[in-house]
Structure 1
Amino acid sequence: MSTTRSVIHSIDAVPASDGAGVQLKRIMSQPPHRLMDPFLMLDELKADHKDALGGGFPPHPHRGIETISCMLVGGFRHEDHMGNCREVGNGGMQWMKSGRGVIHSEMPVPEQDRLHGFQVWLNMPRRAKMDDPQYLDIDRDAIPEWPLPEGKCRVLLGSLQKNDIQVQAPVVRQETQALILDVQMKARDRVVLPVTPRKAMIYVYQGVVNVAGSDSVISVGQSTLAVLSESGDLELTASEQSGFMVLAGEPLNEPVVQSGPFVMNTREEIEQAFQDYRTGRLTG
C-alpha cells in the first residue's frame, strides 16, 4: 500500500513590495532555507489596478539562481543583456538561468488592469553557479497537462511519471529534479499526484485544499504554503473551487548565502558578485 504525504509545517503569505513598488505576497524567502531546499523564494503577484504594479522590475542583476515566472492573468515583458526581448501572456511562463550573471528587467503587462502570477527562485548547485546564463519563454499552448479524471494539472517544470504515463515540461532540471505544477480543482474533486522528489510543498492561491496524509487530513487555506513529508503520493481534495501550486525537488544540502539578488555558497563569493556587478564584469 502506497503512503501519502502529510503536512508538517505551514507558512502564511505576507504582504511585501519589491522592484519599483510592485505589491505582492511573499510566501517564502530567506531562512529557513533548509526547510525549502532547493527552493529559495516564492512570490505571488496579484493586482486588480495599475497602482499595485508600481514601476515593475527595472534592470537588475542575478547570480547563482534560476527564476521561473508563471502567469495566470496578464503577462510580463522580459529584456536582458543577452539580447532577449520577449513577452509572455496568460497561462505562459518564463525560465531563466542566471548562472554567473544576468542583468534583466521584468515589466508587467496587465490584462484590463489585472495581473496574477508567481515567481519562483530555484537554487543552483555549487558546480553550476558560474555556468553561462540561459533564457526561455513558453506559451500556454506548449505547457503539457497531467491527465486527471477531475480537475486540471499543468506541468510547468520537470516531469511526472507513473507506470506507462509520463508528462514532461519543456524545461527539466536534472540537478534538482525540480517539479512545478499548477493545479485547478472544482469543489469535491480529488486528485492523486505521483510526486517523487523528496521535498514537496503546495501553495494555495484560491479556495481550500485538503491534504489526506497517512494519519490525518489537514485543510490548507488561501495564501498558505504547506510543507509536506518527504515520501509518498500527494492526495488532495478541494472543499470549494480551488487552485494551487505544487513545488518539489531534491535538496542540494549545500551552504546558502544570499544577499539581495545574489545566492552563492560563501560570503566571499557574494562579495565577489557585488564587485563584479560594480565593475561591469558580472556578465563579462
Structure 2
Amino acid sequence: MVAPEPVVEGAGVHLRRSIGTRRLDNLDPFLLLDHFESASPADYKAGFPYHPHRGIETVTIVRTGEVRHRDSLEHRGTIGAGDIQWMTSGSGIMHEEMPQVRPEGIAGLQLWLNLPAREKMTRPKYRDLQADRLTEAKLGEGANVRVIAGEASGGRLLGPVEGLAVAPKFLDVTLLPGTAFRETVPRGHTAFAYVDHGDLRFGPEQTAVHGPALVVFGDGDIVEASAGTGGGRFLLAAARPLHEPIARYGPFVMNTRAEIEQTLQDLRTGNFIRDEARDE
C-alpha cells in the first residue's frame, strides 16, 4: 500500500501523487498517477497552461467540477463530472488543461500510460469520452461499475477504449455500505486500485484501506473488495507491462537518452508537432 505524496505541478496546482515519485518511479506500463481534489480555488485555478507531451498516453478522469482544454491541433472543449479525456501524444502534442472555478471545486485523477517503442512516434490521437458513453452496471454483490477501458464481468461489459498495445483495463468502482466487488484481471498484468475515498477491504485477507491510498496487487487473476459502513470508491487499473527501457524528461518519455535529446531539439527548432491528431 502506498500513501500519496503532496506535490505542486503546472502553474501551481496542488496534487497527491502515488506513481511517479522517488518511492515509486513507475509501475510498468503506468508512469504517473495524480489525484487532484480541492474546493479552494487557490489550489487549482492556475491550472496547466500550454505544455508538450511525447511518447505517452494521458488519461484524465473528472470526478467533480469542470476542466477546459485545448491543444495544438485545434481540439478544444470541456470535460465535466463523469467525463474522461484519453489522449495519445504519440510523436508530439501541445495542450493545456485549465480547471474552472466553481462552487463545488475540482476533483479527479490523471494517469500516464507508456507507449511501446514502436508507437512512440505515431500520429497523436484524441478521445473525448462523455459520461453517457461509458457502460455502467451493478455487478456481483452490489458494486456499481463504470467500464472505461477493456472489459468486465467476463466480457459482458465493454468499455469504449480497446485495442491498445498494453491492453488496459480501467474500472471505476463505487461500493455502497455493505456491498462487494470481484473481478478478474489477466495474469502477468500490472494491477492496482486507487482508493479516492472511503474505507474498503481488499483481498481474501480483508486488508483495510483508508482513502486516499494506492493498493498494488501481486500477480494473480482475481481482485476482491468490500465496503464497511461508510462505503468507498476506487479506480481499478490493469495493463500489460512493456519491459522496455524508460528515458524520462518531464512530459517526454522515450526509450533512450538520445531520443530525449532529439525531442528537445525538435521543440527548440519548431519540428515538435509532426502530424495531425485523430479523433475517436
Work out whether the TM-score is over 0.5: yes
Q: Which residue of 156, 181, 184 corresponds with 1:166?
A: 156
Which secondary structure state, in structure 1, belongs to the residue aligned with residue 273 of structure 2? coil
Displacement of 1:29:
0.6
Task: Determine the C-alpha separation between the residues in 1 that align with 2:246 and 2:215.
Answer: 22
Q: How many residues align?
A: 271
Matched, 1:41 2:16: no
Gaps of 5+ in 1: 1-9
Task: Determine the C-alpha separation between the residues in 2 that align with 1:233 and 1:14.
Answer: 28
Q: Which residue of 150, 168, 193 corresponds with 2:183?
A: 193
1:180 partner amino acid:
F
Matched-pair identity in % = 35
Q: Which residues of 2 match residues 1-284 of structure 1 at below 5 A?
A: 10-30=1-21, 36-148=27-139, 149-162=141-154, 165-196=155-186, 198-213=189-204, 216-239=205-228, 240-284=230-274
Which secondary structure state, in structure 1, belongs to the residue aligned with residue 42 of structure 2? helix
Gaps of 5+ in 2: 275-280
2:146 partner amino acid:
R
The two structures have a TM-score, normalised by structure 2, of 0.92
Partner of 2:278: none
Task: Determine the C-alpha separation between the residues in 1 that align with 2:153 and 2:240.
Answer: 16
- CA root-mean-square deviation: 1.6
Which secondary structure state, in structure 2, belongs to the residue aligned with residue 271 of structure 1? helix
Partner of 1:3: none
Task: Determine the C-alpha separation between the residues in 2 that align with 1:230 and 1:172.
Answer: 22
Task: Determine the C-alpha separation between the residues in 2 that align with 1:133 and 1:144.
Answer: 25
Which secondary structure state, in structure 2, belongs to the residue aligned with residue 268 of structure 1? helix
Higher RCO (C-alpha under 8 Å, 6+ residues apart): 1
Which secondary structure state, in structure 2, belongs to the residue aligned with residue 172 of structure 1? coil
2:34 partner amino acid:
D
Which secondary structure state, in structure 2, belongs to the residue aligned with residue 11 of structure 1? coil
Describe the superposition over 1:27-70 as per-residue Cα deviations: whole angstroms up to 9, x where unpaired: 11156778611110000010112111141000000000000000
1:18 partner amino acid:
E
Partner of 2:277: none
Q: 8 Å contact 1:33–1:40 — kept in the other structure?
A: no
Displacement of 1:108:
0.6
User: Which stretch of structure 1 is more off in the superposition, 44-53 or 187-196?
Assistant: 187-196
Task: Determine the C-alpha separation between the residues in 2 that align with 1:111 and 1:136.
Answer: 25
Displacement of 1:151:
2.6
Which secondary structure state, in structure 2, belongs to the residue aligned with residue 45 of structure 1? strand
2:242 partner amino acid:
L
Describe the superposition over 1:47-102 as per-residue Cα deviations: whole angstroms up to 9, x where unpaired: 11211114100000000000000011012111011110111111100010000100
Which secondary structure state, in structure 1, belongs to the residue aligned with residue 156 of structure 2? strand
Displacement of 1:194:
2.0
